[in-house]
Amino acid sequence: MADRVVVTGGDAVYFPLIDELAESIRSQRTADEIGLLVMDAGLEPQHREHLTQRWGAKILDVGWELDVSAARVRGREHLKVQIARAFLDRHAPEGELLAWVDADAWVQDASALDLVFRGAEKGRLAIVSQTSRYSEVAMTLDWAPFGYAKVKSILYKNARRAGVAEREARMIGDKPTLNSGVFALRRDAPHWELWRRRQAEVIRRGRIFTSDQLSLGLAVYVDGAPVERLPELCNYMGPYWSCTDDERTLVERYLPNAQVGIVHMAGYDDMRRDLSVTTAVGTLDGRVVQKSLRRPAWR
């Protein structure tokens, strides 16, 4: 397998998205250039066969790496992927540079994926911050009398719910959330152990769904794991969507209107399930069109 490997994962519901992600990578990079691994969190046998035969993917069978009770899982086997990300260096049998891309994302311009790997090559966590020029709100505050306010940031709220010490919760409370939907690390990076240790702590009381980003934030902001902050085009989540005048290419909303590299449909639940669901996309010449954000709409 190639030295650079993309890992994704999901269950049978996410199979169409995994397939679209795989196609978007293979249309631009060969298996010798970028390997592809898929974590099976509930795929059907025919899904596994298709991904292997069509895209040359290797299927990874993963379990619950940490002690999580069945009562908390409630049949949501796909959540094991939230924990397994921190164990990629153990799960991925090959590859020196390991990138994770959520199944509800796809690669429009592979040069952005190359940039993600370049960040990891430096020995840093290559990742995109959710606080950017596209953020409508930098931090949620609960205003009180006399000009005081209570911090309600995602990291602080989840840290307190997970029982993180107040001192450490405050250390991350005003920091940007690092979106773990797309990231990369070197196999020998120290981040993996820091991340796993922190996740084992927060998973005891915290939410499974947010445990990966919370524990990653603790590893970075409290433990000092080095970060390479990438431009938004490496993990573009809107909320503003724009495209070229010919309606064929998604671009960033603001100047210089660079081509979006990795399209991430975070929060678009209906669209992820149904190709016919659309959203408003502004063209550079000032029109508004209705289009899906999924890969088939932009081939």
Tell me, rounded to whole angstroms, the distance of Cα 150 from its chain centroid. Answer: 28
| Mean pLDDT, rounded, for 274-288 | 97
Residues 239 and 127 in one domain: no
Residue 67 has pLDDT above 70, yes or no: no
Q: Which of 72-86, 193-207, 218-232 has the largest mean confidence?
A: 218-232
In a domain, 24, yes or no: yes
In a domain, 26, yes or no: yes
Residues 195 and 49 in one domain: yes
Q: Which residue has the higher pLDDT, 91 or 71?
A: 91
pTM of this structure: 0.92
The alpha carbon dihedral of 85, 66, 45, 11 has a sign of negative
Choosing from 210, 232, 254, the residue where a domain stops is 232
Residues 211 and 247 in one domain: no
**CATH assignment of the domain containing 14:** 3.90.550.10
Residue 149 has pLDDT above 90, yes or no: no
Residues 178 and 274 in one domain: no
Residue 51 has pLDDT above 90, yes or no: yes
In a domain, 85, yes or no: yes
Tokens of 260: 């979006």
Helix, coil or strand: residue 189:
coil
pLDDT of residue 68: 67
Residues 179 and 256 in one domain: no
Choosing from 215, 232, 249, the residue where a domain stops is 232
In a domain, 14, yes or no: yes
Domain count, the chain: 2
pLDDT of residue 217: 94
Neighbours of 220 (CB within 10 A): 23
Pairing label, strands 227-229, 149-151: unpaired
Q: Which residue has the higher pLDDT, 234 or 66?
A: 234
Domain that holds residue 263: 234-298
Nearest to residue 187, comparing CAs of 88, 113, 57, 86? 88
Alpha-carbon gap, residue 11 to 252, rounded angstroms: 30
Alpha-carbon gap, residue 210 to 217, rounded angstroms: 11
If pLDDT is split at 50, 70 and 90, which confidence band does 223 have?
very high
In a domain, 145, yes or no: no
In a domain, 73, yes or no: yes
Residues 205 and 74 in one domain: yes
| Mean pLDDT, rounded, for 197-207 | 85
Residues 205 and 57 in one domain: yes
Q: Which amino acid is at 96?
A: E
Report the mean per-residue pLDDT for the chain. Answer: 91
In a domain, 15, yes or no: yes
| Mean pLDDT, rounded, for 251-277 | 96
Residues 248 and 222 in one domain: no
pLDDT of residue 130: 86
Q: Which residue has the higher pLDDT, 160 or 63?
A: 160
Nearest to residue 242, comparing CAs of 275, 277, 286, 274? 286
Task: Determine what percent of the chain is predicted with pLDDT higher than 70.
Answer: 93
| Mean pLDDT, rounded, for 231-247 | 95
Residues 38 and 16 in one domain: yes
pLDDT in tens, 4-34: 999 999 999 999 999 999 999 999 999 999 9
Residues 24 and 109 in one domain: yes
Alpha-carbon gap, residue 53 to 57, rounded angstroms: 8
Residues 199 and 72 in one domain: yes
pLDDT in tens, 94-124: 899 999 999 999 999 999 999 999 999 999 9
Pairing label, strands 97-101, 4-10: parallel
Residues 268 and 202 in one domain: no
Nearest to residue 232, comparing CAs of 195, 267, 269, 257? 257
In a domain, 163, yes or no: no
Nearest to residue 103, comparing CAs of 57, 56, 38, 59? 38
If pLDDT is split at 50, 70 and 90, which confidence band does 75 have?
low
Residues 152, 65 contacting (CB under 8 angstroms): no
CB-count burial class (<10 Å; 0-12, 13-18, 19+) for 194? buried
Tokens of 257: 């209107």
Choosing from 232, 252, 268, the residue where a domain stops is 232
Alpha-carbon gap, residue 81 to 103, rounded angstroms: 11
Residues 100, 85 contacting (CB under 8 angstroms): yes
Pairing label, strands 58-61, 97-101: unpaired
Residue 136 has pLDDT above 80, yes or no: no
If pLDDT is split at 50, 70 and 90, which confidence band does 203 have?
confident
Q: Report the b/e string of 63-95 with b at 16+ CB within 10 A.
A: ebbbebeeeeeeeeebbbbbbbbbbbbebbeeb
